[in-house]
Amino acid sequence: MKIVRRTDQPAENDYAKYRDALMEDFWSICGYCGKHIRVSRRGFEIDHFVPISTDETRKNDYSNLVMSCFTCNRKKGKKWPTKNKEICHDGKHGFVDPTSEEYDSHLGRSSSGSIEHYTKVGKYMYGVFKFHLRPTELVWKSMELAKRKQELYKIKNSSKLEKIELELFFEIQEELDQLLDHLLGKGE
């Protein structure tokens, strides 16, 4: 799914008021690591793509905001290597806006779900966000399990299940819950 910021968002005097619109535009996932909020133990925050310390005029600019998991927001912090508010990267160091067409050419996912980099800028971001130290593959697998869990709920709610199928559903449901708690219990 492609992340696209709406362009018709009415201006607000406090960026926190954009939270609901950002959650919708970002599909409830972190713009940087792709983690869904339902598998996040620490919640989501609003990141200023160009940090306020670099450009205070964009503090409440919707086009400068990124929905970010707690971990990614803390890792990025006030970092802005180019020191120029107009230039997000120099081809080696810096960041790419997750809503830009360019983002996927720098970072992506392997078939196992781990985050990988394809360019020097992607390598820089990979290092800043410490993807090599974080359980990104397990988080991705947890998200896939959560999707399957939702599919099981749809089947369960369709009332077409026999008694033995219902018992199996509840067994699977319990195993999925235990696995998700184990994988994400330490927080990410």
Region 33-51 average pLDDT? 92
**Averaged pLDDT score across all residues of the chain:** 90
CB hemisphere CA count around 164 (13 angstroms): 0
Residue 53 lies in a domain: yes
Q: What is the domain range of residue 76?
A: 15-134
- Asked if the structure places residue 3 within a domain, the reply is no
Is residue 1 included in any domain, yes or no? Answer: no
Please report the pLDDT score of residue 188 as a whole number: 64
For the cut 70, the answer to whether the pLDDT of residue 158 exceeds it is no
Asked if residue 159 and residue 72 are part of one domain, the reply reads no
Last residue of a domain, one of 117, 134, 151: 134
Residue 58 has pLDDT above 70, yes or no: yes
> Are residues 126 and 149 located together in one domain of the fold?
no
Domain C-terminal end among 109, 134, 159: 134
53: helix, strand or coil: coil
SS3 188: coil
Let me know if residue 5 belongs to a domain: no
Whether residue 129 is found in the same domain as residue 39: yes
Residue 136, pLDDT above cutoff 80: yes
8 lies in some domain: no
pLDDT band at 69 (very low <50, low <70, confident <90, very high): very high
Q: What is the pLDDT of residue 118?
A: 98
84 with 170, same domain? no
Instruction: Evaluate if residue 164 carries a pLDDT over 80.
Output: no
For 17-89, strand residue ranges (E) read: 44-48, 65-69
Q: Give how many domains the chain has, as a whole number.
A: 2
28 CB neighbour count, 10 Å cutoff: 15
If one compares 124 and 160, the residue with the highest pLDDT of the two is 124
pLDDT above 90 for 176: no
Quote the Cα angle for 148-153-156, to 5°.
Answer: 125
